[in-house]
Structure 1
């Protein structure tokens, strides 16, 4: 996974390149997400968060929070006391803070600059840890998931939303054509950074999904792990307990 990077000509680490990539596309990130997914990314977040409604969600950590879409939706659906969002990209956080201020949610959602693989929180701090489309960008997946487990309270829930690989043959062919041929072109037109949207399908292909992800999830210390595929398996929700 760490060998899949956005800028192949760069000598920077994956973490450095991912930070640069998100800084580059921050201003157009939300628009691109909704355009490229046909708005279905909004449904994925809502569907995933609905799986947590019956849990204790007083203090929530949103990993790789980006522009705060998941945190904002979590505030509406889970009604927690507070959400802390962490991201390594200053550009994405600036966009997110502007959205949160516009919505009047500054008291409920706090955005912090930080490394999601080296969380600056005490053990057993959060009731719930959530992340959407972020763990695929980790330099070390097991390390990142293990740290998420560490900061979660015993009995707490971790929810990961991530792209996965469709199983249906015909749908899979159409999906890979779109993601490898069409998506980079639209990404380049809107964001001026083609590499960011060439990296996306490459990183999805290399990422362990389904049962392969659940193996890493369990290795990181999570129990009662399950995977819920959405939209023909383009996306999956992974739930685990501490």
Structure 2
């Protein structure tokens, strides 16, 4: 995975949420959490795996809803932040954090009701193998996001420390078929790129987000959206 050493640095983990989800980045956090909830709800009585769980933003949210949640990540530093977060939220009994490799998931076939990964596939060097593993350990649902090839992100992607793998819809379709997954729903969002929102104050970002959402509801918005959410079921 690209950036593996960078994500395992303690100082990166400690500042990760603050740098990405404060200011206008709060709107990104809210949208991603809503996307996960829309996909996997109802959470009650489900066994759910999050791959690349990072600092536990989503695992903590889902544990609040009485699910049995496992978060897996390659970075001990990120997992430490996640464990602290669930302790602070009083939901530690519902979550297990594990260090592991997404290419070799340490679980039997059909072990989870749902498996998801957010902010992961843009760093994946072998996305097909990762998606096959996600499909293998899920008995029902696989949910993930991608950054899109035909979007404003292409303008500045080369400036990012690790860059991003960008996907076309046809590439995602091939990945799904290769993992024996059937697409049941998709959503596209953020015509304005994430980096833009992180640079502006929250009160200003909200106005841009309203305009962004309006454009995003059109065919042009779908075509040039920065991020897509893919909800699939195991065949």
- Aligned equivalents of 1:37 and 1:164: distance in 2? 21
**Correspondences of 1:24-173 after superposition (within 5 Å):** 24=9, 25-35=12-22, 38-48=25-35, 49-54=37-42, 58-76=46-64, 79-153=65-139, 156-165=140-149, 167=151, 172=152
Partner of 2:167: 208
Work out whether 1:237 is the aligned partner of 2:221.
no
Decide whether the 8 Å contact of 1:124 with 1:150 is kept in 2. yes
Decide whether the 8 Å contact of 2:43 with 2:66 is kept in 1. no
Which stretches of structure 1, 4 residues or more, deviate above 4 A after TM superposition? 54-57, 175-181
Residue of structure 2 aligned with 1:198, choices 147, 153, 161: 161
SS at 2:106 equivalent:
coil
Q: Report the CA distance shift for 1:216/1:225 in structure 2 as closer, same or farther (over 3 A).
A: farther
Decide whether the 8 Å contact of 1:228 with 1:238 is kept in 2. yes
Q: Report the CA distance shift for 1:55/1:37 in structure 2 as closer, same or farther (over 3 A).
A: same
Partner of 2:195: none
- Aligned equivalents of 1:125 and 1:96: distance in 2? 23
Q: Report the CA distance shift for 1:57/1:150 in structure 2 as closer, same or farther (over 3 A).
A: farther
- In the TM superposition, what whole-angstrom CA distance separates every residue of 1:80-114 from its partner, at most 9, and x where no partner exists? 43100000011111111111111111111111000
- Aligned equivalents of 1:37 and 1:89: distance in 2? 26
**RMSD of aligned residue pairs (Cα, Å):** 2.3
- Aligned equivalents of 2:60 and 2:40: distance in 1? 15
Structure 1 unaligned runs (5+)? 1-14, 182-196
TM-score, reference length from structure 2 = 0.75
Work out whether 1:22 is the aligned partner of 2:7.
yes
Decide whether the 8 Å contact of 1:210 with 1:227 is kept in 2. no
- Aligned equivalents of 1:88 and 1:27: distance in 2? 16
- Aligned equivalents of 1:210 and 1:35: distance in 2? 30
Matched residue count: 198
